[in-house]
């Protein structure tokens, strides 16, 4: 491993996402196939996003069975100069049945050195680029060999195939165990007012201690916040709407994003919508400074009971 990898982990993981230029709001592209966009329309979406300051785009090899990365690559070939002004994130390690990496009998996870290296090569080919700015292990692998993963990551960085390495959906112990072997830039975590496990399990506290910022996905609870029949969602929306008026926000959605950006772990936030307005709402949330009391008021409404 290189000299950086042999240094103490606490000295190696400071604000890597900022160092590689990631925008605080990240465009998540897992639903691109549902958007029914042509390469030309996707290119326009990318350009509009970048004009707003959203320059980071999140992928995974399993999104659309590889088709999402391929469509994005086709969009980039129309205006190659966009690549130098953006950051591309991709993930690998999940092998579903019907995988683009070859048929498998049972869905499983694969973080072997050979598989991770091959997965990066396939993503680069589909994206029509020579490097990923950030490469993540998509899910924890029960058969993971952390030394092997570290060797794969360091090799990919030395080859210039990736600029930084991280994980997604790891527990604190899983994150710390791998981080002892190789620098980790982030941990992509599901978090929303209806998914609070990262708070309850001290995942964010652990990341803060490591000076590593999480990337948050499914910030709107997978759409639950928009439900007209979910009583808790209705009560929470009422609180969010009141706060939107207080902070002169354009939407209660911006207050949800503000609530997440208030976390001391300095999160980055994925927005998976084809609507540029959704990115604008997230950017608005980044600028809103919620009071401590209002932050806890949202937590209380989300849990449906007083803060203990």
Cβ atoms within 10 Å, residue 131: 17
Query: The dihedral of CA 178, 182, 188, 189: what is its sign?
Result: positive
Helix 292-303 and helix 252-261: axis angle, to 10°? 110
220, 192 Cβ separation under 8 angstroms: yes
- From residue 95, give the alpha-carbon distance in Å to each of 122, 156, 162, 265: 14, 20, 21, 31
Residue 48 half-sphere exposure, CB side, CA atoms within 13 Å?
13
How much is the CA Rg of the chain, to the nearest whole Å? Answer: 19
Give catalytic status of residue 109 as yes or no: no
- Measuring CA to CA, which residue among 148, 88, 146, 145 is closest to residue 117? 148
Q: Is 25 helix (H, G, I), strand (E, B) or coil?
A: strand
- C-alpha–C-alpha distance, residues 121 and 23, integer Å: 25
Strand pairing category for 94-95 and 87-92: unpaired
Active site residues: 63
């Amino acid at each position: 491993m290189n000299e950086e990898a042999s240094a103490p982990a606490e000295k190696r993981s400071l604000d890597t996402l900022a160092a590689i230029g990631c925008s605080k709001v990240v465009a998540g592209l897992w639903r691109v196939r549902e958007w029914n966009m042509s390469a030309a329309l996707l290119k326009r979406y990318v350009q509009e996003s970048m004009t707003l300051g959203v320059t980071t785009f999140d992928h995974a090899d399993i999104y659309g069975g590889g088709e999402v990365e391929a469509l994005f690559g086709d969009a980039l070939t129309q205006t190659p100069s966009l690549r130098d002004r953006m950051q591309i994130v991709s993930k690998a390690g999940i092998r579903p049945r019907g995988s683009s990496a070859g048929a498998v009998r049972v869905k499983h996870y694969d973080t072997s050195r050979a598989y991770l290296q091959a997965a990066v090569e396939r993503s680069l080919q589909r994206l029509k680029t020579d490097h990923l700015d950030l490469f993540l292990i998509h899910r924890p692998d029960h058969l993971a060999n952390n030394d092997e993963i570290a060797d794969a990551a360091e090799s990919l960085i030395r080859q210039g195939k990736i600029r930084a390495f991280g994980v997604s959906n790891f527990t604190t112990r899983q994150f710390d165990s791998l981080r002892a072997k190789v620098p980790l830039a982030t941990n992509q975590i599901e978090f929303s007012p209806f998914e609070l496990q990262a708070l309850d399990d001290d995942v964010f506290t652990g990341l803060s201690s490591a000076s590593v910022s999480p990337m948050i996905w499914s910030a709107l609870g997978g759409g639950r916040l928009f439900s007209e029949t979910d009583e808790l969602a209705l009560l929470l929306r009422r609180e969010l709407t009141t706060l939107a008026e207080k902070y002169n926000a354009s939407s209660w959605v911006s207050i949800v994003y503000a609530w997440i950006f208030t976390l001391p772990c300095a999160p980055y936030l994925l927005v998976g919508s084809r609507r540029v307005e959704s990115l604008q709402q997230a950017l608005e949330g980044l600028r809103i400074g919620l009071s401590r009391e209002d932050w806890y008021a949202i937590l209380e409404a989300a849990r449906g009971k007083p803060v203990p």
